[in-house]
Amino acid sequence: MANEMESDSCRHTFPNGDVYHGAVENDLPHGYGKYEWSDGSFYEGEWSEGVKHGYGKYKWASGSSYEGQWSEGCMHGIGTYTGSDDSEYHGSFVKDKKSGYGKKKYPNGDIYEGLWKNDLAENLGIYHWLNGDKFNGEWRQGKMHGHGTFVWHTGERYDGDWKTGLENGPGLFIWADGSAFYGFWEDGKKHGSGVWWRELDASGGGGAGATPRPKSPNDATADKLTVALSENKVIGREYNKGKLVKEHWIDRDKVCLPSLRATREPAKKTKKYAKKVQGETIVKGHRSYDLMLNLQLGIRYNIGKVNEESVKELEASDFDKNISRQIFFPHNGSEDTPPHSSTDFYWKTYCPRVFRDLRKRFGCDPGQYVYALCGDHALRELSSPGKSGSVFYISHDDQYLCKSLRKSELNHLSNILPAYHKHISEHSNTILPKFYGLHRITNPQKSQRVRFVVMANVFCRDINIHRMYDLKGSVVGRSSGNITESTILKDLDLDCTFKLERKWHDILFDQLEKDCKLLEKMNIMDYSLLLGIHFTDEEENSMMDDTTEDDDGGMNGDQGVEEAPLGTSSSLQTIDEDADSRSFLANLNKLNKVTSTKERRTSEIFHQQTRTRRSDTMRPVITEDLEKLSEAMGVSYSQRVLGVSMPATVIYNDESKEPRDALLFFAIIDILQDYNARKQLENVSKSVVYKRNEISAVSPKMYSKRFQDFLGKVFV
């Protein structure tokens, strides 16, 4: 805080002992001044017509303090409140209430970070308990309400629906030993149909030196699951307000089970990949600082608003970009928007309900989305890798990219959005870009409009990409000049092919044909395949030691969590596959329908088969030892998404070079260029000098065929 008072300042002592020293106007504090109350509290900062307004610090006699923005005598804007009990909140206030985005540390060490309303957690947020428990999900009036994931420090987790702080609705509970229950809850208790099982690879059986698998909370239940596993069955269960009333043993292949691998975090990592951070961190004073703040404020507002709406079937009007209204964000805040420290701006989100549905289909958690883009960490600005001149911002965890668009690109994306959404809905393996949101920021002071699309980053894993390619299948202008470590290489720079497992080779080209068919239909060309390569034989060079403690803390299993159901009781009915069992399966199908929109994308993942390694260039792709590598990256090896962490053998054109083992990351990018008049003119002009099939600017049909033919030679 500044200590100097304005030149027209005065000092006045009131009869009750209060003292004011500062600027005045019309006998009222106005400007900068300090007011000290007789009880020891004080305010030092900006005033307007006798009330606290602007930036200032207030300290109560109790020891609590607030420093930040004020409006009309209220804490209003961004500020930090420190309680006399050592609690601390930093974030947004509206009329003395915590509202908007903020982070609070409680006296006992717990931390909540997320959205607030009237001093209570509301909408999306993450709560960390001091003992290691964590909840990530939706809140209402300070209680877990909606969809969310609770992870206990002892290893258990619940992923599902909540109501007023209790499990309520469809959910998945996983014990630390790998067993799981997938069913319905009511008021915190199992109620209705569900299935209890252990995954095939969670049953132990490790070789010499393997760590013993912790037992289930009850030996009887562990034995029952072991028997069911050996018979390739799962155990269906029916509950009435937490009481087990029926049990069904059902063939595993008759039940659609959610994948558990996507919920696991590696319990122990002895080594960590040191990924080189790209981009320039946007800090205060950076040319893009205000634009970044505007983007973050808008995304928080958008996610909060759209998640308050009930989920309904999408209608044709949801795809109309002209329906979305523009929201004004004054720096002092408004009835609908929080105060902020940036310049005034207008915010517009296009087709919010459509992109909410797309985010769900892509397995994007709303809370994590807001945290990654709008949390305490600043975004980073990347230099434009292409000719478009677009600005790229990347989230601190490398998951999301915000790319600036030309008006024509925004219009084109809006036009193809219905077909794109339909394609994503029908083809979960698509390698098209994953679009998460479409926004516009207008700065009235500068008469400037910036349009952004938020999308998935192809290289979002905690791993070094040793080589990158942008592949189109054309020849003209398709080589890089001065090549550095970060250069994105092009078609003519490619000196190798990539041998995939036969199964994945077929999946790739089947999906590629479908994706290209859509692009051709939408009159799109000039797209490319962005390909990143991580060489596994360089892993030691890119690793750094990471000291970790052995995960031998006792797994109590009964501390703060629901135990696995006990064995058979006198009232329990054990039923084999009969009419009741078929009825039970029908109820499970209802459960799957209810949770289908919440399924992780791993539900569509395929399992790979390992093959024997050979040393010559005809060897199949090696998969030995890749599981540890994938787990270190946070990607389960046996659950592979097309284009993410895919094992391959790199075979060089130069036969003197030995083949190398690698992990590949790839996706189609830049799909917002249509074959317009400018591109047609480019086709005519360049065809005079070059062969038509060698240039990039060709018709969508020709482009699609050439693109697929070229990649057919790249991936073998």
**What are the tens digits of pLDDT across the range 84-119?**
999 999 988 989 999 888 999 999 999 999 889 999
Burial class (CB in 10 A: 0-12, 13-18, 19+), 547: exposed
- Confidence bin at 332 (pLDDT 50/70/90): confident
Mean pLDDT of 493-517: 94
pLDDT at 123 > cutoff 90: no
Q: How far is CA 342 from CA 98, 295, 298, 338, 519, in A?
A: 19, 11, 12, 11, 39
What's residue 589's pLDDT? 59
**Percentage of residues of the chain with pLDDT beyond 90:** 50
Which of 372-406 are b and which e, b meaning 16 or more Cβ less than 10 Å from the residue's Cβ? bbbbeebbbbbeeeeeeebbbbbbbebbbbbbbbe
What's residue 455's pLDDT? 96
Name 346's bridge partners. Answer: 328, 442
Query: Which tokens in the block code for residue 189?
Result: 């208790």
CA dist 666 and 676 (Å) reads 27
Query: Sheet of 280-281: strands edge to edge?
Result: 280-281, 380-382, 392-394, 400-405, 448-456, 435-443, 345-349, 327-329
- Confidence bin at 555 (pLDDT 50/70/90): very low
Choose the weakest-confidence range: 148-162, 383-397, 566-580: 566-580
- What residue segments make up the domains of the chain, in order of their start? 9-205+218-228, 276-461, 462-552+611-716
Choose the weakest-confidence range: 139-148, 307-316, 338-347, 480-489: 480-489
Question: Considering Cα of 638, then 496, then 434, then 348, what sign does the dihedral take?
Answer: positive
Question: Is-same-fold flag (9-205+218-228; 462-552+611-716)?
Answer: no
683: number of Cβ within 10 Å: 18
* Architecture of the domain delimited by 9-205+218-228: Sandwich (2.60)
Cβ(240)–Cβ(191) below 8 Å: yes
- Confidence bin at 341 (pLDDT 50/70/90): confident
Higher pLDDT, 633 or 276: 276
- Confidence bin at 381 (pLDDT 50/70/90): very high
- Confidence bin at 62 (pLDDT 50/70/90): very high
CA dist 296 and 288 (Å) reads 12
Cβ(218)–Cβ(557) below 8 Å: no
CA dist 63 and 510 (Å) reads 67
Burial class (CB in 10 A: 0-12, 13-18, 19+), 192: middle
CA dist 468 and 530 (Å) reads 7
Q: Which of 125, 138, 217, 704 is nearest to 472 (CA)?
A: 704
DSSP 252: G
Residue 712 identity (one-letter amino acid): G
How many degrees, rounded to 5, is the angle at CA 485 between CA 480 and CA 488? 40
**DSSP states along 543-575:** EEE-----S-S---SSSSSPPPP-S--TT-EEE
What's residue 598's pLDDT? 43
Tell the residue number behind the tokens 């109820």, with chain if given: 587
Higher pLDDT, 633 or 476: 476
Q: Which of 229, 342, 359, 333 is nearest to 295 (CA)?
A: 342
Question: SS3 for 260?
Answer: coil
Superfamily of domain 462-552+611-716: 2-Layer Sandwich (3.30.810.10)
Mean pLDDT of 586-609: 42
Q: Which of 99, 12, 96, 6 is nearest to 60 (CA)?
A: 96
User: CATH class for domain 276-461?
Assistant: alpha beta
Which of 607-619 are b and which e, b meaning 16 or more Cβ less than 10 Å from the residue's Cβ? ebebeeeeeeeeb
